[in-house]
Amino acid sequence: MALKFNPITSQSQKLPSFALPPMASLRSPKFSMISTLPSGSKGFENLKKPFMPPREVHLQVTHSMPPEKIEIFKSLEGWAEKNILTHLKPVEKCWQPQDFLPHPASDEFDEQVKELRERAKEIPDDYFVVLVGDLITEEAISTYQTMLNTLDGTRDETGASLTSWAIWTRAWTAEENRHGDLLNKYLYLSGRVDMRQIEKTIQYLIGSGMDPHTENSPYRGFIYTSFQERATFISHGNTARLAKEYGDIRLAQICGNIASDEKRHETAYTKIVEKLFEIDPDETILAFADMMRKKITMPAEFIYDGRDDNLFDHFSAVAQRLEVYTAKDYADIVEFLVDRWKVKDLTGLSADGREAQDYVCALAPRIRRLEERAQERAKQAPRIPFSWIFDREVQL
């Protein structure tokens, strides 16, 4: 998950990072307008359509990458096979959700479920709010595969293409799919959450899609996934840490193994962008700066449970307070990627490229200053009910 840093005014707003995405750049002549009604409006309730996304997407720029750049990604097919597909694990060597859960065919199943529920009783509600938010984000994996298949030059053109890029996308999706399966089954067995409300939220989210502002450009797309995999590695690592503190070692193992997958995937995506900086530094730094200016959005920014129009803000505020994923983490990721890709050392850039370089290199300290101010405002946060935990109240 990832936060953003453009302040807006709302009743639930406590941090400068929880805002809808700003309008995208108009550098490309190709763009489309999508207008939807807010979910709480009477107009929304009276619509006869079977589904309407609960959020409004103002502007979407499409296909901004110059067509000749597609050849770069075609030329990298062999490189991707040798350097990216190696970060996938054979299915037979992957952990599976059942490895961490009571076995339904075992005579000890009932007792194992009882033990799981006893451990879950000791975990506070606010942790479950964050864990459910993480689960819902993982369960929308079909949306993320769809997003990758919008990228010009790397998409899976047939659904079963044998290009390295297509193989990666499908196999990455298959590995990620285990995360939602595991968390879903754990939460179902725990008895601590309202599964029907969670299932509704997942359906709303997948139906709403996502708007990462990648403009069908693999430069932007792989910068986005590099950031997101780092963010989810941090988030799941912190839920593992908290589960251990609460005394649930098995839940800590669950979250820790998911975090390990995210770290491996982060390595692959950052390696792709590293290669792009090597062969096309100017286009890559411009894409990096553009994504940072537009803010990296959480894949679940359109999250909605049928009740709370500001659910993303509220979930993110709880994650911030528990230090599962914070504004500081966002700044740390920016700094990590600047260092990982040696952005400060880039030479031979155009004037626009040098300006973009200066912008991203100065960004992390600026975000940290905003985070310090936000912490003061967050101390007066109210308590609100979350439908995921049977409307029990949690402090934001």
Q: Is 236 a catalytic residue?
A: no
Of the listed 168, 265, 266, 314, which one is catalytic? 265
Phi, psi of 395 (to 5 degrees): -75, 135
Q: Is 179 a catalytic residue?
A: yes
Of the listed 154, 163, 225, 232, which one is catalytic? 232
State how far the Cα of 96 lies from the Cα of 215, in Å rounded to an integer: 35
- The residue behind tokens 């100017």 is 282
Q: Is 213 a catalytic residue?
A: no
Of the listed 229, 290, 309, 329, which one is catalytic? 229
CA-to-CA separations, 263 to 73, 145, 269, 311, in angstroms, rounded: 24, 18, 10, 27
Q: Is 232 a catalytic residue?
A: yes
Of the listed 62, 79, 95, 332, which one is catalytic? 95
Of the listed 176, 211, 309, 329, which one is catalytic? 176
State how far the Cα of 330 lies from the Cα of 227, in Å rounded to an integer: 9
Of the listed 126, 211, 261, 305, which one is catalytic? 261
State how far the Cα of 208 lies from the Cα of 203, in Å rounded to an integer: 9
What long-range pairs does 235-242 form, CB within 8 A, spacing at least 24?
Answer: 235/1, 235/134, 235/259, 235/319, 235/324, 235/325, 236/134, 236/262, 238/322, 238/323, 238/324, 238/325, 239/127, 239/130, 239/131, 239/134, 239/324, 242/127, 242/322, 242/324
Of the listed 138, 139, 248, 290, which one is catalytic? 138
Q: Is 176 a catalytic residue?
A: yes
Of the listed 126, 165, 179, 201, which one is catalytic? 179
**From start to end of the chain, where are the E strands?**
31-32, 60-61, 383-386, 392-395
Biggest CA–CA distance in the chain, Å, is 70
Q: Is 265 a catalytic residue?
A: yes
CB atoms within 10 A of CB 95: 16
Q: Is 261 a catalytic residue?
A: yes
Q: Which residues are the active-site residues?
A: 95, 138, 176, 179, 229, 232, 261-262, 265
